[in-house]
């Protein structure tokens, strides 16, 4: 058959089954077409890439410059417009609508980033995008795991793999996700657990001489004896009793407590021990909130509410989100401080993490003491409730003005001593705003003035536990510490019960606390006596023989033996003035009560110093009053 010279199609004769057939050789004809098509695609890519490269370069330009000025930001739009015109003139516009759409999105993003750079929000936007991507990725991963399991079950039910064209590909992707998720979660859990490494504890300590008894104390300001240190503290009362019980022994007391120290800092002071103590006293819980405040602040400012509560079940989220939040914190503005109401302290998962950290540190300490055969007495924290207002209540920003208006009404009713009307208003408001600590405290005041102490106590306790800026230990820390001590077989003293046994109506009032947090002389004495009772139930002093019965045990004798005189009270009250002024800063919307109490202590300090009054006069503490100690059995 003849060949067509003007055509690339060639008819080639072939023999098949005794006859002649023909096949068409199309290779020579199709190759140039494929080459031309590839060249056209390459040219389209060349036309499209500049539309992407230009905005990307403009986005990166301020990042590359160490300190971009305003002139740079003003020049970026001009460069952008000029570049787009040159690209359009040289390469034209992209041919396909998808590429046109992508180029438009990227260029709009470049314009948006320029605006964000100008207002200084570019860093926040990028981090916010990362935060959104983190949450979307976790949610998508969970959904993918569930979806692939359902798809796998359906595939088994149908009995064949490709019952839909897309099934094999989806299963491959799903299996990759199923393998990746446990690996990522396991790795995150290991890293998370490494944050709870045991605290470094002292090694083996040498034994003291047989004729010596050594007592050590760790904790914060209350165990230190603030503001009476170095004259009087809980440990001083115990040592005072031991010296009478073991008169032939030298009783040494080393108080390692530090004002403001949290548990971790308090236990770090154990490294100062030179000899193995017979007993260690520990009092901790009040100062846990005031440490690592930055993690509370950043979590509060960057929390996504209920979404983060669900996301916190994922270890990857708990590990990565704080890092993003820490970077985002520097771009957020600080909230108004002069508010009655504010947001929650931080997300619930972070509160749980901080509480777990506290418990694990206690357990590490108890374990170390047990390994070294050292007896521990744990004292749960206690503070005032009926005279010390909460610092910050929980309330939505939208309701803040309404809550403050109602609070002012309650205060006016209380000032007019209309206690029933004030209590009714508090009860009504608490039905609508059950988490406002201020309303609970005011309701407790009303109940107290209406001779309903039991109801008042429940309101006061709620006010403490709902305080969003707590400087008093909340029930969660007190109860967790006691449970940890019970699990470890450690002797403990519930100091709250000790004070309530001696208080009128069982209420923790300013009759037992100087500033709402620190015990006064009588409370310190009572807790010290309770600690002595608890210490004598242990075997800490068995090697020293049978103790004698102490002859001097009264409060007055304790004051005399520790030389608590006028000068000690002058210094203590002067220190308390500064503390109450500092506490007033935690409640800036209503400083009146704390500043008034600070002024009263300043007056007492001045009058005592000038000898215008003596101890026990004009509101000053008495050092010769009879205090009847009631132990737990009475």
Give the pLDDT mean for 382-392. 93
Supply the pLDDT for residue 122: 64
pLDDT digits (tens, 9 = 90+) for 400-455: 889 999 999 999 999 999 999 999 999 999 999 999 999 999 999 999 999 999 99
**Range with the poorest average pLDDT among 70-84, 290-304, 424-438:** 290-304
CATH of 393-466, one of 2.40.160.20, 1.25.40.10, 1.10.3720.10, 1.10.1740.10: 1.25.40.10
Per-residue pLDDT band at 140 (split at 50, 70, 90):
confident
Can you tell me the distance from the alpha carbon of 546 to that of 543, in angstroms, rounded to the nearest whole number?
9
592 or 342: which leads in pLDDT: 592
| Mean of the per-residue pLDDT values of the chain | 83
Contact, 325 vs 298, CB < 8 A?
yes
Q: Which residue, among 280, 255, 213, has the nearest Cα to 547 in the 3D structure?
A: 213
pTM: 0.69
* Per-residue CA distances from 276 to 68, 206, 215 (Å): 61, 6, 9
Supply the pLDDT for residue 157: 83
Would you mind telling me the total number of residues written for the chain in this entry?
A: 634
Per-residue pLDDT band at 172 (split at 50, 70, 90):
confident
Interacting residues of 17 by C-beta distance below 8 A, sequence separation 6+: none
183 or 240: which leads in pLDDT: 240
Contact, 318 vs 195, CB < 8 A?
no
Sign of CA dihedral 365, 366, 372, 373: positive
595 or 303: which leads in pLDDT: 595
Per-residue pLDDT band at 127 (split at 50, 70, 90):
confident
Where do the structural domains in the chain lie, given as residue ranges?
Answer: 33-118, 393-466
Supply the pLDDT for residue 12: 46
Top mean pLDDT of 147-151, 267-271, 307-311 is at 267-271
Backbone torsions φ then ψ of 403, nearest 5 degrees: -65, -45
Encoded tokens for 583: 């506490």
Q: Which residue has the tokens 């033996």?
A: 561
Give the pLDDT mean for 363-385. 94
């Amino acid at each position: 058959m003849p060949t067509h010279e003007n055509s690339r199609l060639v008819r080639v004769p072939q023999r098949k089954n005794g006859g002649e057939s023909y096949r068409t050789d199309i290779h020579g004809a199709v190759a140039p077409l494929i080459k031309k098509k590839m060249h056209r695609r390459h040219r389209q890519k060349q036309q499209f890439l500049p539309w992407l490269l230009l905005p990307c370069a403009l986005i990166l330009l301020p990042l590359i410059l160490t300190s971009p000025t305003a002139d740079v930001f003003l020049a970026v739009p001009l460069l952008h417009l000029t570049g787009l015109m040159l690209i359009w003139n040289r390469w034209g516009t992209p041919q396909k609508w998808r590429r046109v759409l992508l180029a438009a999105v990227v260029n709009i993003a470049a314009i948006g980033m320029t605006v964000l750079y100008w207002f200084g929000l570019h860093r926040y936007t990028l981090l916010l995008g990362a935060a959104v991507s983190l949450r979307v990725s976790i949610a998508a991963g969970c959904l993918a795991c569930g979806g692939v399991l359902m798809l796998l079950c359906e595939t088994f039910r149908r009995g064949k793999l490709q019952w839909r064209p897309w099934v094999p590909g989806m299963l491959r992707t799903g299996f990759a996700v199923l393998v990746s998720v446990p690996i990522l979660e396991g790795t995150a859990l290991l890293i998370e657990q490494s944050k709870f490494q045991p605290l470094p504890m002292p090694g083996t300590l040498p034994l003291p001489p047989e004729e010596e008894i050594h007592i050590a104390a760790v904790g914060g300001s209350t165990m230190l004896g603030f503001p009476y240190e170095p004259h009087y503290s809980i440990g001083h009362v115990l040592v005072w009793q031991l010296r009478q019980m073991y008169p032939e022994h030298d009783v040494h007391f080393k108080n390692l407590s530090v004002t403001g120290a949290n548990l971790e800092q308090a236990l770090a002071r154990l490294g100062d021990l030179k000899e193995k103590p017979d007993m260690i006293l520990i009092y901790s819980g009040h100062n846990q909130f005031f440490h690592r405040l930055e993690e509370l602040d950043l979590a509060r400012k960057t929390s996504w509410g209920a979404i983060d509560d669900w996301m916190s079940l994922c270890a990857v989220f708990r590990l990565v989100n704080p890092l993003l939040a820490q970077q985002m914190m520097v771009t957020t503005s600080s909230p108004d401080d002069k508010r009655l109401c504010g947001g929650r302290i931080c997300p619930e998962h972070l509160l749980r993490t901080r509480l777990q950290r506290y418990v694990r540190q206690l357990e590490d300490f108890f374990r170390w003491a047990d390994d070294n055969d050292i007896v521990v007495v744990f004292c749960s924290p206690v503070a005032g409730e009926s005279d010390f207002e909460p610092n910050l209540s929980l309330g939505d920003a939208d309701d803040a003005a309404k809550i403050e208006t109602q609070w002012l009404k309650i205060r006016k009713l209380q000032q007019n001593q209309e206690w029933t009307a004030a209590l009714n208003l508090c009860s009504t408001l608490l039905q609508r705003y059950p988490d406002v600590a201020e309303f609970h405290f005011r309701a407790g005041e009303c109940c107290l003035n209406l001779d309903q102490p039991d109801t008042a106590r429940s309101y006061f306790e709620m006010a403490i536990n709902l305080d969003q800026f707590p400087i008093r230990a909340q029930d969660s820390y007190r109860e967790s510490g006691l449970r940890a001590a019970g699990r470890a077989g450690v002797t403990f003293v519930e100091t709250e019960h000790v004070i309530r046994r001696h208080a009128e109506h069982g209420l923790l009032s300013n009759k037992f606390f100087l500033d709402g947090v620190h015990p006064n002389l009588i409370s310190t004495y009572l807790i010290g006596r309770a600690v002595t009772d608890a210490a004598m139930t242990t075997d800490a002093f068995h090697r020293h023989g049978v103790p004698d019965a102490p002859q001097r045990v009264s409060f007055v004798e304790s004051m005399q033996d520790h030389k608590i005189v006028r000068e000690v009270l002058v210094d203590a009250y002067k220190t308390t003035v500064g503390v109450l002024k500092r506490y007033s800063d935690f409640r800036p919307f209503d400083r009146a009560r704390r500043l008034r109490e600070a002024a009263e202590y300043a007056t007492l300090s001045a009058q005592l110093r000038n000898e215008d009054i003596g101890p026990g006069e004009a509101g000053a503490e008495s050092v010769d009053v009879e205090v009847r100690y009631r132990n737990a059995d009475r």
